[in-house]
Amino acid sequence: MLLESLEFLLTPTTPLARKYGFLYSSISLRHRYQRQKKSWLPHLKNCQDVFLETARSLPQRKSVVVMGSAHLHEIPLHLLMDNFDQVTLVDVIHPLKHHLQSKRYSRLKLVTLDLTTALDKLQDLNSLEDLNNLAKKLAGEQLFHFEADLIVSANLLSQLALLPLDAVEKKIKRNLELSEKDVICTQFAETHLKNLKACTGTKLIYSDREVIYRDKNGEVIYTGHYPVNFAGYQKLKEWNWMLAPLKEASKDYSIEMKIEAYKS
């Protein structure tokens, strides 16, 4: 408890990350990993396999950028450091341990960035139409640009629209319809893919593409999916990730994700 309070106090954060609860989410993600490490292992191994296969196919391995690095549960820091001379981690918040490691290793750089550029505009959204307009406007802009031998988008794609959707729901005081959410999720995801494609270097992206809820008997009770066009990307692999076995998120259902990995 004392350690957690210290972590909360000592982790460097931007006002934006604090405002939108990224520090809290980051610490709870680490706890969920500690609890579920065993059931997450096949997923983590798949992430490492696609990373290593892609890294080994490169003509040179000087630099790597990982967007949505979080705690690097999926591609551990030692794998990045062993395979590349320069490692850059990009996230809206970095855990304290990565700040300390970046002071220790000059080969490790942290970039703290909102990859959607939408977060500082959320307070101005008064309606779903405002959010649709913002998503359309951002689709025409360059939101980020990296140059590296390998650029990884690491389980980030499905997260990008969550806070904007949440902000609008709070403002209009109603839950959005799934179809309304899908339009926004698709737009944010495709803008991310477009920006990633324009980066210089080989790109690897993996992300959850479908969510599956099962009841106590293993029967599917809900599946969710929104369309994303991966044109120009080559599909490498897909697998299922048991994110929350029965009793982790609820005693009534488990939550599984279908993950897809692509390269360009």
Ligand X SMILES: C[S@@+](CC[C@H](N)C(=O)[O-])C[C@H]1O[C@@H](n2cnc3c(N)ncnc32)[C@H](O)[C@@H]1O
Give the integer Cα–Cα distance in Å for 43 and 173.
Answer: 37
For residue 112, what is the DSSP state? Answer: E
Q: How far is the CB of 247 from ligand X (least distance, A)?
A: 21
What one-character-per-residue DSSP string does 131-180 give?
HHHHHHHHHTS-----EEEEEEEES-GGGTTHHHHHHHHHHHTSPPPHHH
Distance in Å, CB of 185 to ligand X, minimum: 13
User: Is residue 116 close enough to count as binding ligand X by CB under 6 A?
Assistant: yes
Q: Which lies closer to ligand X via its Cβ, residue 123 or residue 221?
A: 123
Letters for 36-75 (x = contact with ligand X by CB under 6 A, - = none) are: --------------------------------xxxxxxx-
261 binds ligand X (CB under 6 A): no
Cα–Cα distance for residue pair 161/191, rounded to 1 Å: 11
* Helix (H), strand (E) at residue 198: helix 178-198
Q: Which stretch binds ligand X (CB under 6 A): 4-12, 90-98, 103-111, 223-231?
A: 90-98
Q: Which of 27, 50, 115, 243 binds ligand X (CB under 6 A)?
A: 115
CA distance 29 to 234: 29
* Least distance CB 119 / ligand X (angstroms): 6
69: helix, strand or coil: coil
Residue 114 touching ligand X (CB under 6 A): yes
Binders of ligand X in range 136-155 (CB under 6 A):
154-155
Cβ nearer to ligand X, comparing 115 with 131: 115
Of the two residues 183 and 189, which places its CB atom closer to ligand X in the complex?
A: 189
Give how many residues touch ligand X by CB under 6 A: 20
Task: Using the CB atoms, write b or e for 106-129: b if 16+ within 10 Å.
Answer: eebebebebbbebbebbeebeebe
Nearest 5°: the CA angle 254, 46, 84 is: 135
Binding site for ligand X (CB under 6 A): 22, 68-74, 91-93, 113-116, 154-156, 159-160
